[in-house]
Structures are given as structure tokens and as C-alpha cells.
């Protein structure tokens, strides 16, 4: 058995899944592959079964969301003794040496390691560059160019090598998030448990989303979800964060001349009891992966 379980959550992924799985076949470090399918109807599963019969598939029968579907894979990774899980987006793929370089750079303090994430044209992914680019650039210059791993506060979950220790400690993705925000929250909890997140500059991988553009309202909706992320962070004081995030939504609406953030205020306030419960649960070792919960 390989030491790594690659987990790919799919939902109507026929456009990309062949590239993802082909890249894993070419990996210099072998890995077992698990696809957790969230009810695809576009032929995704037929393509996988026809072209990649060794790939293990779990069908959820419905769209559980990114976090809940990944939790199925993370639980399997623990139960079956894997030392690492690799979370791979359905629209992402590896270079042949990506896994090998990440595993070679791993040390116990690193809960998450990511390669440099590129778009399909070979340029840095826009979000990766915004979140991690400066730290990587600084490390590659001057006295830091020999560093195997660059610590970053956040990196997107399109490419995550997650250690067994981190899974056992942090647990799974919080049910507070169905789509968007779940990776931010997981890293907040990783830091709460005193583990670290890093990028390996020598490793490269692709996240194919360069042609997607979000509308202004969609961007504002994502910013609204960021208030849920902050409210769910166990490192923040609960009493103050409830006030602060409501005020942030008010200011966001004024700044952007939009009612979208204001409409989100009652949604956020209604969720406060649920979010407080999830915050406390997230402090437990192995949170959200208990098969009996």
C-alpha cells in the first residue's frame, strides 16, 4: 500500500478528471487514489471506471459539499493507516515529482504542505500569488534561497499534502461550511493546534481556473462568507467577534454601495448559536471525523 491517499471530490468533473488521474499515474511517488463523487450526472464516473479501473470510488448520491465529502476520505486515510492524505481538486493536476518533493520536505511541525500552484498556462494561480506569492518570492531571494519550505498563513486546498498527525489533531472540515471558507477554517484550527502551513517552492502543480471570472455580487458574497470564517476561528474572542463581523458587513455595504452585505447580516446573526457550537467542537482532537457523531 502507498503511504499517500489522494482524495479527489468530484461533481460533474468530466472536463478535468482525466488530466487529474493521468498525472497521478505519472507520479514518481506512487499513491492510492480515492474519488468521492457528489452525485455527478455528466459521465464523470463512467470515464473514471472506463479509463482508470484501479481508482477507488465512493458515491455519495448527492452533493454533500467539498468539506463533508473530503471528510469521508480523511476518515478512510486514518482508518487504513496512511501517513499522508493529498487533497486534490477535481480541476487540478500534478507534475511527476510533485508528491516526491512535498514528502521529502515534510517535517512533523508541518500540518499542510502545498506546491506552488500554477494556472493551466504555467503562470502562478492568481489567488495563490495573492495569498502566498510574496512569502515565496522573499524566500527565493537573498539568504533564504536554500529553504525547503516557506511558511504561509494560508494556501488554497486545491493542493494540500496533509500529515496524519494533522488529521488526527485537527480533524475534518467543519459542517459550518458547505462551499467556500472550509479551507480557511481548517487552517485557522491548524494554527490553534500549533501546527504550521507551508509551501515547497521546488514543487509545482496546476489548478485550472484561470478562465473563470466572478461577478461583483459573487465576490461580495464570498466576502460575506469570510465573516463566518472569522466567527468560526477558535483563536478569536467569541463576544467581540460577533460585534466586529456585523460591523464589518455594515462597512462592506457602504464601501461597495451594495445591499448584499447588509442582507447577510440577519443570516449571520441567525447562525451565531450554531457557529458557537461548531467553534467549541473544533477545539477537540479529531473534530468532525468521529464516525459515530
176 in any annotated domain: yes
Res 167 pLDDT > 60: yes
- Residue 123 pLDDT greater than 60, yes or no: yes
Instruction: List all residues 6 or more positions away from 285 whose beta carbon is below 8 Å from its beta carbon.
Output: 168, 169, 171
What is the tally of helices (H) and strands (E) in the chain? Answer: 11, 9
Q: How long, in residues, is the chain?
A: 293
Domain holding 85: CATH number?
3.90.550.10
Question: Is the residue at 63 inside a domain?
Answer: yes
Residues 193 and 246 in one domain: no
Same-domain status, 261 and 137: no
Domain span at residue 187 reads: 4-207
pLDDT, average across residues 197-203: 96
142 and 194 in a single domain? The answer is yes
Confidence of residue 9 (pLDDT cuts 50, 70, 90): very high
Q: Total domain count for the chain?
A: 2
Cα separation, 206 vs 117, in Å, equals 6
Instruction: Tell me whether residue 103 is in a domain.
Output: yes
Q: What percent of the chain has pLDDT over 90?
A: 87
Listed residues 166, 184, 207: the one ending a domain: 207
Distance of alpha carbon 90 from its chain centroid, rounded? 12
Same-domain check for residues 186 and 237: no
What is the rounded distance in angstroms from the CA atom of residue 146 to the CA atom of residue 140?
Answer: 8
pTM exceeds 0.85, yes or no? yes
Close Cβ partners of 101 (under 8 Å, ≥ 6 residues apart): 115, 200, 202, 203
pLDDT range class, residue 143, cuts 50, 70, 90: low
Specify whether the CB–CB gap between 44 and 91 falls below 8 A.
no
Q: Give me the mean pLDDT over the 267-286 stretch.
A: 97
Q: Is the pLDDT of residue 214 over 90?
A: no
The pLDDT confidence band at residue 264, using thresholds 50, 70 and 90, is very high
Kindly state whether residues 254 and 156 are assigned to the same domain: no
- Tell me whether residue 136 is in a domain: yes
Span 175-185, mean pLDDT?
Answer: 93
Q: Alpha-carbon distance 291 to 223, whole Å?
A: 32
Instruction: Provide the β-strand partners of residue 112.
Output: 162, 197
pLDDT score for 290: 77
Contact 9, 69 (CB under 8 A): yes
What phi-psi label fits residue 125: left (phi over 0), alpha (psi between -120 and 50 degrees) or beta? Answer: beta
The arithmetic mean of pLDDT across residues 250-257, rounded, is 94
**Are 221 and 264 members of one domain?**
yes
If asked whether residues 151 and 257 sit together in one domain, one would say no
Residue at which a domain ends, from 185, 207, 229: 207
Residues 16, 57: one domain? yes
Query: Are residues 175 and 42 located together in one domain of the fold?
Result: yes
As a whole number, the mean pLDDT across the chain is 93
Q: Do 98 and 237 share a domain, yes or no?
A: no
293 falls within a domain: no
Tell me, yes or no, whether 203 lies in a domain: yes
- Same domain, residue pair 198 and 76: yes
> Cell 480515492 belongs to which residue?
34
User: Is a pLDDT exceeding 70 seen at residue 220?
Assistant: yes
Tell me, yes or no, whether 27 lies in a domain: yes
CB contact set of 32 (below 8 Å; sequence gap of 6+)? 1, 2, 4, 5, 6, 56, 82
Same domain? For 161 and 231 the reply is: no
Instruction: Retrieve residue 82's grid coordinates.
Output: 496512511
Q: Of 154, 187, 207, at which residue does a domain stop?
A: 207
Angle, nearest 10°, between helix axes 182-192 and 260-282? 40
- The answer to the question of residue 292 being in a domain is no
Amino acid at each position: 500500500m502507498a503511504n499517500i491517499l489522494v482524495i479527489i471530490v468530484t461533481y460533474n468533473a468530466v472536463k478535468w478528471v482525466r488530466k487529474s488521474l493521468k498525472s497521478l499515474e505519472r507520479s514518481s511517488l506512487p499513491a492510492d487514489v480515492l474519488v468521492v463523487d457528489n452525485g455527478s450526472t455528466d459521465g464523470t464516473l463512467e470515464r473514471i471506471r472506463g479509463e482508470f479501473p484501479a481508482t477507488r470510488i465512493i458515491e455519495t448520491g448527492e452533493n454533500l459539499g467539498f468539506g463533508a465529502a473530503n471528510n469521508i476520505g480523511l476518515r478512510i486515510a486514518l482508518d487504513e493507516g496512511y501517513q499522508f492524505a493529498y487533497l486534490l481538486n477535481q480541476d487540478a493536476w500534478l507534475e511527476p515529482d510533485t508528491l516526491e518533493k512535498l514528502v521529502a520536505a515534510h517535517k512533523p511541525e508541518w500540518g499542510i504542505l502545498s506546491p506552488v500552484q500554477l494556472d493551466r498556462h504555467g503562470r502562478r494561480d492568481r489567488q495563490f500569488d495573492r495569498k502566498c506569492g510574496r512569502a515565496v518570492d522573499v524566500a527565493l531571494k537573498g539568504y533564504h534561497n536554500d529553504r525547503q519550505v516557506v511558511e504561509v498563513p494560508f494556501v488554497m486546498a486545491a493542493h494540500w499534502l496533509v500529515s496524519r498527525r494533522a488529521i488526527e489533531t485537527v480533524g475534518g472540515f467543519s459542517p459550518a461550511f458547505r462551499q467556500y471558507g472550509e479551507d480557511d477554517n481548517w487552517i485557522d484550527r491548524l494554527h490553534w493546534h500549533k501546527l504550521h502551513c507551508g509551501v515547497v517552492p521546488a514543487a509545482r502543480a496546476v489548478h485550472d481556473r484561470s478562465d473563470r471570472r466572478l461577478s461583483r455580487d459573487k465576490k461580495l458574497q464570498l466576502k460575506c462568507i469570510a465573516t463566518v470564517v472569522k466567527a468560526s476561528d477558535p483563536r478569536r474572542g467569541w463576544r467581540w467577534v460577533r460585534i466586529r463581523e456585523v460591523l464589518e458587513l455594515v462597512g462592506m455595504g457602504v464601501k461597495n454601495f451594495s445591499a448584499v452585505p447588509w442582507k447577510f447580516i440577519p443570516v449571520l446573526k441567525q447562525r451565531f448559536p450554531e457557529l458557537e457550537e461548531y467553534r467549541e467542537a473544533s477545539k477537540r482532537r479529531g473534530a468532525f471525523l468521529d464516525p459515530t457523531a
